[in-house]
Amino acid sequence: MTLKDKISSDLKLAMKSGDKLRLETLRSLRAVLMEKEIEKRGPDFKGLKPEDELAAVSTAAKKRRESIEQFEKGGREDLAQQERSELQIIQEYLPEQMSGDDVKAHVRGVIASAGAEGQKDFGKVMPVVMKELKGKADGRVIQEIVKELLGGNQ
């Protein structure tokens, strides 16, 4: 079952249960996936690949995180809470996120294998780590850890 199919199935359940927040959030996710499908459509298009679906849902989660941050800065806790609730629903469709310690361990391994020694090697390490941890950890967290470890704070 593809992620799109799971979301559609859960959407029907949300309609039946009357859970408005879940229903609206799943509708927005389905719309994001449809937009991605239209973007990718071409002569040999056979449907979204799992990594494309994951990327679209990850983007939706990232937008919610950014909105939460902005609403909190603006003193709109009511809207921030709404976004948190939506983010919680969206995260059900993403792989479990790695802990900070797991990300650090992985980054240390990449730094060692790349022979990176300082901040100047950030460009060597970051793309490798992002590719390997795509969908498993937030890019901002990865970036902070890479900077920290390359800065000599190991």
44/32: higher pLDDT: 32
DSSP string, 85-113: HHHHHHHTTSPPPPPHHHHHHHHHHHHHH
pLDDT value for 137:
81
Q: What is the largest CA-CA distance in the chain?
A: 57
Q: Is 76 helix (H, G, I), strand (E, B) or coil?
A: coil
Residues 25/89, Cβ–Cβ less than 8 Å:
yes
Right CATH for 100-150 from 2.40.30.10, 1.10.10.410, 1.10.10.60, 3.30.230.10: 1.10.10.410
pLDDT at 94 over 90: no
pLDDT value for 55:
86
Name the residue ranges covered by the structural domains of the chain: 3-91, 100-150
Both tokens assigned to 62: 């990232």
CATH of domain 3-91: 1.10.1510.10
pTM (2 d.p.): 0.73
Could you report the per-residue pLDDT of 107-134, keeping only the tens digit for each?
Answer: 888 888 878 777 888 888 888 888 888 7
